[in-house]
Structure 1
Amino acid sequence: MSMGHGGGGAPPVFRGVDIAAQKRRNAEAPEIPDLGKRVVALFRPYIWRLAFTGFLVVAGAAIAVVPPLLVERIFDDALFPTDGGPVDIPLLIRLVAGMIGLFLLSAALGVVQTYYTATIGNSVTGDLRVKLFDHLQAMELAFFTRTKTGVIQSRLQNDVGGVSGVLTNTVTSILGNLVTVVASLIAMILIDWRLTLIAVILMPFLVLVQRRVGQVRARIAGETQESLSELSAITQETLSVSGILLSKSFNRQRTESARYQDENRNQVRLQVRRAMSGQGFFAVVQVLMSSVPAVIYLVAGYLITGNADGTITAGTIVAFTTVQARLLMPLMGLMRVALDLQTSAALFARIFEYLDLKPAISDAPEAISVSQAPGPLGRVEFRDVVFRYPDAAAGARPTLDGVSFVADPGQHVAFVGPSGAGKTTVLYLTPRMYEASGGSVLFAGTDVRRLTQESIIDNVGIVSQETYLFHATIRENLRYAKPDATDEDLEAACRAANIHHIIERFENGYDTIVGERGYRLSGGEKQRIAIARVLLKDPPVLLLDEATSALDTVSERVVQEALDAAARGRTTLSIAHRLSTVIGADVIHVVDGGRIVESGTHAELIASDGLYAELAAQQLAASRILETEATDALGRRPTDHARRRGDRAPDQPAVVLTPTGPVRVPDEA
């Protein structure tokens, strides 16, 4: 049975999204005011080079019109003199030499023009790409949680790449072809105005048809770019390490291949439509323009027959048809450029649509640095904070509702509670990655809205449950936090994070490639490298977002020891599902339904017999079951197996979970 979508039937719906409807919406180019002016403004930094390029283009186009005029003299004055005399060899040599010289000069100007055109066009393209990338970097975190990574990548690569040719060639193409067309028309009028009228009589009609063709191509271009965005999104989702692991785990490779094939088939269809749109129009233009010389010969015959004044000669006809033939390519070039501009307008609109996005979180005009804040560095305070996610349904209960607490410098404040209670939101509001809907978040005694985002982030270190490592060496991943860190700094941070002895075992040590997202390392190793990276940053405030939730018991114990070392002397806000990791916190806040429902130390909360005590009882029961099963299966204590793992330094004793928390177990002789 085939697992693909198939070609017919209802439009596919994938992961809750009506793909066909979404494509129709996205393919429509947004209305961008002053689009033409904004595109022209991209060339402003290169105005002088552009002016010089324009001079080269005009000179080259003007030179290209002269040889046909020389042809008339070659025929009428040198080869077949009108006075009936012999061939004028000296004049013929001068005229031919002049033509060859003009060809050489035109070729030289063309090489220089190409260099400047390529330099300016690619520079503008690069500037646009960097401008878009920088703008996206400034967008708030919520933008990236609601937008596919592949779609963002497509805007940077496919859309900017799609306008690259226009930025590189349009200005010179318009200028060069326009000068050639004007010069050719002037030359044709000078040769014979009557023949010129016949040659250009259909041009207004062609311009009207060209505009209609351009509108069709612009619509197809928008659909093509949206299809490319979807292809990029599928590739990014499916061929990443996480994506390929997921598809293999559920044996969905055929489904993913079918999804890619469907979109690729759509992309091929659109590319063919895009390539063929307007080809019939250009074929008609080419036939008409190519047929003009035949009509000219016919009309010239009648004119010669009806006029004995000799104004139309063989040289006149040859020169006119030569100039007219040279009119075909620049005229079609202008029409193609006009179509390209109409087509690229959809792509420029997509790019400027992103550039026009306003970050939901930005620095206030009078924002100050954390170093200028009057309060103690490391103090974090929430005052009646309310928060709703931007895409929350109208009337939905807020994620946080009136949350208040204080974390003093050096204090460890933990947050526990059921999933979805709002714990992670508390952490991400602290460095202002999200904006509070109500109330105030204070950092160093100052509302974060009055502080610069950069200075807040400089004073905060984050260790999340999803550790992100680049496909680079351990050394490069560590120096992401502090580019100028010495090898001694790296080693000290890794020793503090309890990972140095592991790194030393690798064949390449700190130069070991960790693989995409660190997949060549174990979960515990990745987390300890992430901790070492934060230690290199040395922030006064540490945010721990369930940093050990994805680890096994042994790895959790080792990583927790590294976290404890990292937290010393710092304000620490931590979230944990496993209560054993926060038993030693100075204050534990229990969050439920977006509110803090209990606060106190571990002992106080156990004694109060509330939600915290209930969670602790559930975890203790689960821990006892696991210990019993492990003992029955292995015939030994789990700590015996833990010692053989070699996942801790030799001088570190094993740790087991007991009803009162983690307890160290000394090594047996």
Structure 2
Amino acid sequence: MVGIGDTRGPGSGRSGQRADPADRAQLERHPVALRRVTALFGPFRRQVAVVVALIVVSSVVALATPFLVRLVIDEALPRQDVRLLVWAVLGMLAVTATTAVLGVVQTWLSTTVGQRVMHGLRTSVFGHLQRQSLGFFTRTRGGEVQSRLTHDISGMQSVVTSTATSLASNATTVVGTIAAMVALSWRLSLLSLVVLPPAVLLTRRVARMRRAVTAQRQRHLADLHAQVEEGLSVSGVLLGKTLGAGPAQSRRFADTSQDLVGLEVRAQLAGRWRMATMSIVFAGIPALIYLAAGLPATSGGMTIGTLVAFTALQGTLFRPLMGLLDVGVQVTASMALFSRVFEYLDLPVEVDDPADPVPLDPAGVRGDVLLEGVSFTYPDGHRPALDGVDLAVPAGATLALVGRTGSGKSTLASLVARLADPTAGRVTVDGVDLRDLSLDTLSRVVGVVSQETYLLHTTVRENLRHARPGATDAEIEDAARRAQVHDVVAALPDGYDTVVGARGHRFSGGEKQRLAIARTLLRDPRVLVLDEATSALDTGTERAVQAALDEAARGRTTITIAHRLSTVRHADRIAVLDAGRVVESGTHAELVARGGRYAALVAAGDREPALAA
């Protein structure tokens, strides 16, 4: 984003624009009060005041140069006054040096303020988004979150370094220049006021034409980037090779690239037309001024020095004037950026720390888990995902959840980990409602191993230490041994210092799953939630990991969603869910003897995957 009154001039690509409809729509959806924006700069009001003062002083000092030029031409040179000539030249150098130094100081101050405001916003938004429930991230595109955290907040810096400062600079320059022009020649000033409006309108019209072509080109570039990301990422290449979609992707990429050829030519031509227009404007206005100065009716006895000084002043008026005319567009664009960031900051936190959390020592937790009348409906759900569930899991016991897809197994597991709060009822650990515990305490009490394993792009050691930053190397290796993955890691070229690669592509699905189990075991929670934790393992590896989990589960409560009978048979209690309700509950032997839904699954024999169907 370019700031209000961007001093780069009309060739910068912003002049002559209309407000982007997307910016207006954003502000209508989430209005932003100007007071809230200015409050961000409250801690830096002194620095901002100094910046504005430097801009005003610099603009006023710069106006001295044309008058010094007139002094040289009209006085020093005709009279051969060397002393006056030297002082005038020194004055010009002093003006240039002063404005340069003031510009450096102003840039340093404004950039520092902008970066500090950005830092505060970045950390605030990042921290606030981390507190959002899992549902927010399932509803929101990942790229949207990154865009607001990086591009939008970075673009907001221009509100300080370009927008506000350029507005002050342009306003001061325009007012001071017009005053100086009138002081030099009111006749030529009137001529400039007549000539400038059509020149400005012509420039803005050409700029709009270029903007339309540029916007179309940007959309095609975005499509091209998306095709590169989709076609050349690890997952995209894998998908293309397995589906044989490579040739089709290449043709689509070629078509988009071909469209860009024509758009690039049009954009360059529009740019040249704009530069041609500006060349005519910049050459035409001085020419008319020279003509007026040479006519007896309009010259008014003007000296050559006055003419040169006036022409120099008039040449500096066009750019800041164009900047001021674009104030409305730039303010809308700037406020739209603030709106997008504030929209995230204003999101309500669905799962938050309680105002007065119940003190609970994780080391002293027994692990009694109780679900009382638990119901849960997703925000966009038409029916409850869970409806009146009552389950009790004594400390150290194992509860297995069985049911078809959509029966509520994963939803129930997420409530135990408080990734969401029940719509009705409550979930307790040792009699304490999870909503009364701080999130930090809860994460140390309840550990989760999900079926989708996420590994950070760092070393194996740091991936495991992510669960417990203070863990020693010995503790890390012990957790890996218990998860039956130590030998795999030790065999790598750099052992535990091996980088896992993007999203853990260096490892197989089973190895990633075991690393996730090791990470959870390292945290040593009293309650384990295993959501299809062994789904990616082959039968042999599953036995080894299950043995490690059985050993790790001693003395701790385990709630598992399993798809193989081998992990269900030995559970202390099995709950069969259907449409969000517990339809059967008991041990393996009890449920088989009952001859109900679970017994039908057991009767399927080798068709054990039906448990996860």
* TM-score, scaled to structure 2: 0.84
1:173 and 2:166 are equivalent in the alignment: yes
User: 8 Å contact 2:24–2:332 — kept in the other structure?
Assistant: no
Q: Could you say which residue in structure 2 is the equivalent of 1:354?
A: 344
Q: CA deviation at 1:551?
A: 1.6
1:371 and 2:371 are equivalent in the alignment: no
Q: Could you say which residue in structure 1 is the equivalent of 2:510?
A: 524
User: 8 Å contact 2:131–2:349 — kept in the other structure?
Assistant: yes
Q: Could you say which residue in structure 2 is the equivalent of 1:387?
A: 376
Q: Which amino acid aligns with 2:378?
A: Y
Q: Which amino acid aligns with 1:558?
A: A
Aligned match for 1:96, one of 66, 89, 94:
89
User: 8 Å contact 1:217–1:343 — kept in the other structure?
Assistant: no
- What is the aligned length? 587
Q: Could you say which residue in structure 2 is the equivalent of 1:199?
A: 192
1:428 and 2:425 are equivalent in the alignment: no
* TM-score, scaled to structure 1: 0.77
1:327 and 2:354 are equivalent in the alignment: no
Q: Could you say which residue in structure 2 is the equivalent of 1:448?
A: 434
User: In structure 2, how many angstroms separate the alpha carbons of the residues matched to 1:466 and 1:533?
Assistant: 14
CA-to-aligned-CA distance 1:541-576 (integer Å, 9 cap, x gap): 110001111221111111111221222221111111
User: 8 Å contact 2:417–2:447 — kept in the other structure?
Assistant: no
User: In structure 1, how many angstroms separate the alpha carbons of the residues matched to 2:225 and 2:146?
Assistant: 7
Q: Could you say which residue in structure 1 is the equivalent of 2:128?
A: 135
Q: Which amino acid aligns with 1:361?
A: V
Q: CA deviation at 1:514?
A: 1.7
Q: Could you say which residue in structure 1 is the equivalent of 2:9?
A: none
* Cα 1:273/1:565, change in 2 over 3 Å: farther
Q: Which amino acid aligns with 1:379?
A: D
> Per chain length, whose mean CA-contact separation is higher, i.e. which structure has more relative contact order (CA < 8 Å, sep 6+)?
2
CA-to-aligned-CA distance 1:37-64 (integer Å, 9 cap, x gap): 4444443343333333333322222221
Instruction: Tell me whether 523-532 or 478-487 shows the greater mean CA deviation.
Output: 523-532
Aligned match for 1:249, one of 242, 245, 250:
242
1:409 and 2:395 are equivalent in the alignment: yes
Q: Could you say which residue in structure 2 is the equivalent of 1:660?
A: none
* Cα 1:205/1:363, change in 2 over 3 Å: farther
User: 8 Å contact 1:62–1:183 — kept in the other structure?
Assistant: yes
Q: CA deviation at 1:217?
A: 10
User: In structure 1, how many angstroms separate the alpha carbons of the residues matched to 2:291 and 2:456?
Assistant: 73
Q: Which amino acid aligns with 2:412?
A: V
User: 8 Å contact 1:369–1:452 — kept in the other structure?
Assistant: yes
Q: Could you say which residue in structure 2 is the equivalent of 1:16?
A: none
Q: CA deviation at 1:305?
A: 7.1
CA RMSD of aligned residues (A): 3.8
Q: Could you say which residue in structure 2 is the equivalent of 1:108?
A: 101
For structure 2, the 5+ residue unaligned runs are 1-20
* Cα 1:139/1:331, change in 2 over 3 Å: same
1:478 and 2:471 are equivalent in the alignment: no
User: In structure 2, how many angstroms separate the alpha carbons of the residues matched to 1:221 and 1:449?
Assistant: 52
User: In structure 1, how many angstroms separate the alpha carbons of the residues matched to 2:342 and 2:571?
Assistant: 49
Q: Which amino acid aligns with 1:248?
A: K
1:68 and 2:57 are equivalent in the alignment: no
User: In structure 2, how many angstroms separate the alpha carbons of the residues matched to 1:140 and 1:235?
Assistant: 31
Q: CA deviation at 1:482?
A: 1.0
Aligned ranges 1:216-615 → 2 under 5 Å: 239-257=232-250, 287-288=280-281, 290-302=283-295, 310=301, 312-335=302-325, 339-364=329-354, 366-369=355-358, 371=360, 377-392=366-381, 396-615=382-601
Q: Which amino acid aligns with 1:356?
A: D
User: In structure 2, how many angstroms separate the alpha carbons of the residues matched to 1:109 and 1:201?
Assistant: 34
Instruction: Tell me whether 288-297 or 335-344 shows the greater mean CA deviation.
Output: 335-344
Q: Which amino acid aligns with 2:44?
A: Y
Q: CA deviation at 1:34?
A: 3.0
Q: CA deviation at 1:316?
A: 2.0
CA-to-aligned-CA distance 1:102-150 (integer Å, 9 cap, x gap): 2222223333333333333344344434433333222221121122223
Q: Which amino acid aligns with 1:54?
A: V
User: In structure 1, how many angstroms separate the alpha carbons of the residues matched to 2:94 and 2:42?
Assistant: 35
Aligned match for 2:26, one of 16, 25, 29:
29
Q: Which amino acid aligns with 1:538?
A: D
Q: Could you say which residue in structure 2 is the equivalent of 1:144?
A: 137
Aligned ranges 1:625-644 → 2 under 5 Å: none
Q: Could you say which residue in structure 1 is the equivalent of 2:10?
A: none
User: In structure 1, how many angstroms separate the alpha carbons of the residues matched to 2:273 and 2:554?
Assistant: 74
Q: CA deviation at 1:608?
A: 1.2
User: In structure 1, how many angstroms separate the alpha carbons of the residues matched to 2:334 and 2:407?
Assistant: 47
Percentage identity across paired residues of the two chains: 46
User: In structure 1, how many angstroms separate the alpha carbons of the residues matched to 2:379 and 2:67?
Assistant: 69
User: 8 Å contact 2:187–2:298 — kept in the other structure?
Assistant: no
User: In structure 2, how many angstroms separate the alpha carbons of the residues matched to 1:588 and 1:305?
Assistant: 101
User: In structure 1, how many angstroms separate the alpha carbons of the residues matched to 2:214 and 2:334?
Assistant: 8
User: In structure 1, how many angstroms separate the alpha carbons of the residues matched to 2:325 and 2:252?
Assistant: 38
User: In structure 2, how many angstroms separate the alpha carbons of the residues matched to 1:511 and 1:170?
Assistant: 47
* Cα 1:30/1:314, change in 2 over 3 Å: closer
Q: CA deviation at 1:245?
A: 2.2
Q: CA deviation at 1:457?
A: 2.3
User: In structure 1, how many angstroms separate the alpha carbons of the residues matched to 2:215 and 2:284?
Assistant: 36
**SS of alignment partner, residue 606 of structure 2:** helix
CA-to-aligned-CA distance 1:454-507 (integer Å, 9 cap, x gap): 332232111112211112111010110111211122122222223223322223
CA-to-aligned-CA distance 1:8-38 (integer Å, 9 cap, x gap): xxxxxxxxxxxxxxxx999943423235444
Q: CA deviation at 1:340?
A: 3.9
For structure 1, the 5+ residue unaligned runs are 1-23, 81-85, 626-669
Q: CA deviation at 1:325?
A: 1.6
User: In structure 1, how many angstroms separate the alpha carbons of the residues matched to 2:402 and 2:550?
Assistant: 17
Instruction: Tell me whether 119-128 or 531-540 shows the greater mean CA deviation.
Output: 119-128
**SS of alignment partner, residue 171 of structure 2:** helix
Q: Could you say which residue in structure 1 is the equivalent of 2:3?
A: none
CA-to-aligned-CA distance 1:81-102 (integer Å, 9 cap, x gap): xxxxx42122112111221222
Q: Could you say which residue in structure 2 is the equivalent of 1:21?
A: none
Aligned ranges 1:647-662 → 2 under 5 Å: none
**SS of alignment partner, residue 136 of structure 1:** helix
Instruction: Tell me whether 267-276 or 541-550 shows the greater mean CA deviation.
Output: 267-276
CA-to-aligned-CA distance 1:146-173 (integer Å, 9 cap, x gap): 2222333333344444445454322222
Q: Which amino acid aligns with 2:606?
A: A
* Cα 1:260/1:329, change in 2 over 3 Å: same
Instruction: Tell me whether 209-218 or 518-527 shows the greater mean CA deviation.
Output: 209-218
Instruction: Tell me whether 112-121 or 261-270 shows the greater mean CA deviation.
Output: 261-270
1:185 and 2:161 are equivalent in the alignment: no
Q: Which amino acid aligns with 1:323?
A: L
User: 8 Å contact 2:365–2:526 — kept in the other structure?
Assistant: no
User: 8 Å contact 1:527–1:559 — kept in the other structure?
Assistant: no
Q: Which amino acid aligns with 1:350?
A: R
Instruction: Tell me whether 208-217 or 71-80 shows the greater mean CA deviation.
Output: 208-217
**SS of alignment partner, residue 371 of structure 1:** coil
* Cα 1:267/1:471, change in 2 over 3 Å: farther
Q: Which amino acid aligns with 1:572?
A: T
**SS of alignment partner, residue 131 of structure 1:** helix
Q: Which amino acid aligns with 2:448?
A: I
Q: CA deviation at 1:383?
A: 1.5
